[in-house]
């Protein structure tokens, strides 16, 4: 039954998109200190918009990093309370030369809007804000109580929101969380995400000589920290993709046979995925596990960069005094960041070659999570999605991480409904990130209908 809020959203869609573009023009890159003020501007724009659409008590909550945005509307006695979550921070846009249009100048092309943050997560945050606006404008009220909490540090580990949630403030009292930061399994296929991997993001620093040295004068006698690091890194994973840290796999809770069977029924072709999404000669990873199992339910280890030494054009004959590597591991249910990091750190210290000192540092971490599906909010979500998309919902996991979702369960006792509208080829964290405009429109409709169903 098309609600009047859904009609309102349809009539106002061009304006919604223009407003989203204004949000996308703010380069709220959380990891880069030079964008600190931009992060605050994005937070302020959201706070003002929430207040403008009729949400109450809209304010910023300061953290040690970028501010949180809070607002609420609590005039539905006897109805449940939703905690609506998203993040306004984005990943750095580099490499800039690969963007077909500038990352912070949102541009429409073939039914998408292209910009850094288009889908991760400003576009999805805007679907939430515009769903709330549509309900408030069309009905003069919300069908349930709503608290909104947006953060600006999700892409850097989310420490500010984690501390706030762990303090269990009365402002976060709710019955469930609505998280819009995930994707559809395939275009047109309504999807709820029910599991996320956790992660530990680390840095290994190897130090050899007191200072940089001439590699001719000292080569053959002085330890080279890059060589040491390469030797360490080469022993973290074997050729089959198995992580070699002793004990790393011990506590994993595998998916149930039913969940695995459901994954086998998803429309997924590994060869198509290799060609169209990954674009590599072949896929890698542990033998005996499908791609979906390897990316959703198995831990993994990746190296992101090795800063240090000489990286300019041309040649420089130097033995650098130190070298670093950024290494992260994705964790799955059963594993904990604390134990996994401890095992990894001891192993790296043990295999470090003679002549170098290594420091193994944890930069940030987050737990893996599985959300319960046997609750009325998930049921309300599948009813709403069926109505808007005309198909039954599929339940999937994601290989990515949203650290706060586990904390919502642990500290606040909240089940999360992870209803997101990205697509697998939306180029998250990569050049030419996009958000499909049809998904933007249907996402707003889905959230409107979901909130109506959850409050019914
Ligand atoms: N929205 C993503 C997580 C995601 C990606 C969920 C794809 C579902 C499908 C989120 O913004 C993200 O990128 N998280 C980081 C978290 C990390 C920096 C702690 C990630 O997964 O790398
Ligand atoms: Mn995100
Ligand atoms: Mn992200």
CATH number at residue 62: 3.40.630.10
Is residue 255 in contact with ligand 1, taking CB distance under 6 Å? Answer: no
Does the Cβ of 433 fall within 6 Å of ligand 1? no
Please give the distance, rounded to the nearest whole angstrom, from the Cα atom of residue 350 to the centre of ligand 2.
36
Quote the ligand 2 centre to 425 CA distance (angstroms).
Answer: 14
> Is the Cβ atom of 182 under 6 angstroms away from ligand 1?
yes
Q: Which residue, among 428, 232, 198, 230, has the nearest Cα to 336 in the 3D structure?
A: 198
Domain span holding position 76: 4-196+368-454
Q: Which residues of 240-264 are buried (b: 16+ CB within 10 A; e: fewer)?
A: ebebebeebeeeeeebeeebeeebe
Q: Is residue 365 lining ligand 1, measured as CB closer than 6 Å?
A: no
- The tokens for 334 are 């059963």
Residues 88 and 110 in one domain: yes
Q: Say if 260 falls within a structural domain.
A: no
Answer yes or no: is 422 within a domain.
yes
Check if 38 has its Cβ closer than 6 Å to any atom of ligand 1.
no
| Same domain assignment for residues 147 and 13 | yes
205 in contact with ligand 1, CB cutoff 6 A? no
- Closest ligand, as measured to the CA of 366: 1
Q: What spacing in Å lies between the alpha carbon of 75 and ligand 3's midpoint? A: 33
* Residue minimizing CA distance to atom 19 of ligand 1: 157
- What SS3 state is found at 181? coil
Residue 200's pLDDT is what? 97
pLDDT for residue 161: 98
**Does residue 117 have its Cβ closer than 6 Å to ligand 1?**
no
Burial class (CB in 10 A: 0-12, 13-18, 19+), 390: exposed
The answer on 359 and 376 residing in a single domain is no
- pLDDT for position 1: 56
Q: Ligand 1 pocket, 400 CB below 6 A?
A: yes
Which pLDDT score is estimated for 2? 63
CA 158 / ligand 3 centre spacing (Å): 11
Residue 281 domain-assigned?
no
Atom of ligand 1 lying closest to residue 422 CA: 9
One domain, residues 87 and 171: yes
Task: Name every residue whose Cβ is closer than 8 Å to that of residue 159 and which is 6 or more positions away in sequence.
Answer: 63, 64, 65, 153, 364
Total domains, the chain: 2
Residue 280 covered by a domain? no
What the block records as the tokens of 37 is 């003020």
Q: Is the CB of 259 under 6 A from ligand 1?
A: no
Q: Are residues 25 and 112 in the same domain?
A: yes
In ligand 1, the atom with minimum distance to the C-alpha of 157 is 19
Best substitution site from 85, 120, 277, 296 to test ligand 1's pocket, by max atoms within 8 Å of Cβ?
Answer: 120
Pocket test of ligand 1: the residue of 30, 157, 181 to mutate, having most ligand atoms within 8 Å of its CB, is 181
Residue 153: CB within 6 Å of ligand 1?
no
For ligand 1, say whether the CB of 180 is within 6 Å of any of its atoms. Answer: no
Report yes or no on 342 lying in a domain: yes
Q: Which of 366, 382, 401 is the last residue before a domain boundary?
A: 366
The ligand whose atoms approach the alpha carbon of 402 most closely is: 1
402 Cβ below 6 A of ligand 1: yes
Q: How many A from CA of 402 to the centre of ligand 1?
A: 5
Query: Residue 164, class by beta-carbon neighbours within 10 Å (0-12 exposed, 13-18 middle, 19+ buried)?
Result: buried
Q: Are residues 243 and 110 in the same domain?
A: no
* Ligand 1 neighbourhood includes 155 CB (under 6 angstroms): yes
Same domain membership, residue 417 and residue 320: no
Of 386, 452, 418, 455, nearest to 131 by C-alpha is 452
Domain boundary residue among 318, 347, 366? 366
For residue 82, being part of any structural domain is answered with yes
Quick check: is 284 in a domain? no
Dist. CA 419 → ligand 3 center (Å): 15
Domain-ending residue, one of 349, 366, 383: 366
Q: What residues contact 7, with CB distance under 8 A and at least 6 apart?
A: 138
Per-residue model confidence as pLDDT tens for the chain (456 residues): 568 999 999 999 999 999 999 999 999 999 999 999 999 999 999 999 999 999 999 999 999 999 999 999 999 999 999 999 999 999 999 999 999 999 999 999 999 999 999 999 999 999 999 999 999 999 999 999 999 999 999 999 999 999 999 999 999 999 999 999 999 999 999 999 999 999 999 999 999 999 999 999 999 999 999 999 999 999 999 999 999 999 999 999 999 999 999 999 999 999 999 999 999 999 999 999 999 999 999 999 999 999 999 999 999 999 999 999 999 999 999 999 999 999 999 999 999 999 999 999 999 999 999 999 999 999 999 999 999 999 999 999 999 999 999 999 999 999 999 999 999 999 999 999 999 999 999 999 999 999 999 999
Let me know how many helices (H) and strands (E) the chain has, helices first: 14, 18
181 C-beta closer than 6 A to ligand 1: yes
Q: Look at residue 271 and tell me if it is in a domain.
A: no
Q: Where are the alpha helices (DSSP H) in 414-456?
A: 437-454
Same domain, 312 and 439: no
Give the number of the atom of ligand 1 that is nearest the alpha carbon of residue 364.
Answer: 19
Q: Report residues near ion ligand 3: CB below 5 Å.
A: 120
Q: Is 184 in the pocket of ligand 1 (CB under 6 A)?
A: no
| Per-residue pLDDT, 287 | 95
């Amino acid at each position: 039954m098309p609600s009047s809020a859904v009609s309102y959203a349809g009539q106002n869609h061009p304006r919604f998109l223009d407003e989203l573009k204004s949000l996308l023009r703010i380069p709220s890159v959380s990891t880069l200190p030079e964008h600190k003020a931009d992060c605050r501007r994005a937070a302020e724009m959201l706070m003002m918009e929430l207040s403008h659409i009729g949400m109450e008590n809209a304010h910023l909550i300061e953290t040690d990093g970028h501010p949180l945005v809070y607002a609420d509307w609590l005039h539905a006695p006897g109805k449940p309370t939703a905690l609506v979550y998203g993040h306004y921070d984005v990943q750095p846009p580099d490499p800039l030369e690969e963007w077909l249009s500038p990352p912070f100048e949102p541009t429409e092309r073939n039914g998408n809007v292209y910009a850094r943050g288009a889908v991760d997560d400003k576009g999805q945050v805007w679907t939430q804000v515009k769903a709330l606006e549509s309900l408030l404008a069309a009905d003069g009220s919300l069908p349930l109580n709503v608290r909104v909490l947006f953060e600006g540090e999700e892409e850097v580990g989310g420490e500010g929101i984690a501390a706030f949630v762990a303090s269990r403030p009365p402002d976060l009292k709710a019955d469930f969380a609505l998280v819009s930061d995930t994707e559809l399994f395939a275009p047109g296929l309504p999807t709820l995400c029910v599991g996320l991997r956790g992660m530990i993001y680390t840095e290994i620093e190897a130090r050899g000589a007191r200072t940089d040295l001439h590699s001719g004068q000292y080569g053959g006698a002085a330890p080279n920290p890059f060589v040491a690091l390469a030797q360490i890194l080469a022993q973290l994973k074997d050729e089959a993709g198995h992580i070699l840290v002793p004990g790393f796999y011990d506590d994993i809770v595998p998916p149930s046979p039913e969940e695995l069977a459901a994954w086998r029924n998803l429309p997924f072709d590994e060869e198509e995925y290799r060609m169209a999404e990954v674009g590599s000669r072949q896929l890698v990873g542990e033998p005996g596990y499908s791609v979906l199992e390897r990316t959703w339910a198995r831990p993994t280890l990746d190296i992101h960069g090795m800063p240090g030494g000489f990286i300019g054009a041309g040649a420089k004959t130097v033995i650098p005094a130190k070298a670093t590597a950024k290494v992260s591991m994705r964790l799955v249910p059963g594993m904990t960041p604390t134990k996994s990091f401890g095992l990894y750190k001891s192993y790296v210290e043990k295999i470090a070659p003679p002549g170098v000192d290594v420091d193994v540092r944890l930069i940030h971490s987050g737990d893996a999570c599985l959300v319960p599906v046997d609750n009325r909010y998930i049921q309300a979500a599948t009813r709403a999605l069926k109505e808007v998309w005309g198909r039954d919902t599929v339940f999937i996991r994601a290989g990515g991480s949203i650290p706060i979702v586990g904390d919502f369960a642990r500290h606040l006792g909240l089940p999360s409904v992870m209803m997101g509208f990205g697509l697998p080829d939306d180029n998250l964290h990569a050049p030419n990130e996009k958000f499909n405009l049809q998904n933007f429109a249907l996402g707003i409709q889905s959230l409107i209908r979901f909130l109506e169903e959850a409050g019914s």
